[in-house]
Amino acid sequence: MNKTATPLLMKSELLQGEELLQSFGANALLPLHPDAGGAGAPPYVLGASAPLKVLGMLHLTNYRLKFKPATPSEADFSIFLPAISGVRNVSSWFVWKFRIRMHDETWIDFLRWGVRPVIVAVTAARTHAEELDWKAIGADISAAPDKLGAWSILPPDDQPTLSVASVE
């Protein structure tokens, strides 16, 4: 039997000055890299198809979105707000889904009933994040990479947006 836990975001996982704004139950649709698990191969390729559905929680902070899976064997990840170019509803028929698109035109999809509150919250947080000092936050990111998760999409000013995930 698979063991699952409530994927809460702990204070110890936050960067200096980071605050939790909201949390949403969501399934991340993670497109597997064709050679996932191979030597040097990244686990996921954003903007690709054939996703793996991972149940978890999407935590919105004033710096990023952090996805924490319910199953400990799955990888958690972070998407920093400045890396996001837009969030939109891509639901169809009976599938409620929203897409987070990065500036490099890659994306990641999430399944969730009630996508509108997530889209509104992320859009508002992105607007407020533009006012933050990302050079200083970049130093905090560099000092605590273990708080980001197994892979992350960093702010473009800190370093180029990485749309191909890598395991640290």
- For 20-43, b/e burial (b = at least 16 CB within 10 A) is beebbebbbbbbbbeebeeeeebb
What residue ranges define each of the domains in the chain, with the CATH number in brackets?
23-153 (2.30.29.30)
Q: What's the whole-model pTM score?
A: 0.81
- Summarize pLDDT for 73-91 with one digit per residue, the tens: 888 999 999 999 999 999 8
- Summarize pLDDT for 2-37 with one digit per residue, the tens: 555 567 888 888 999 999 999 999 999 887 666 555
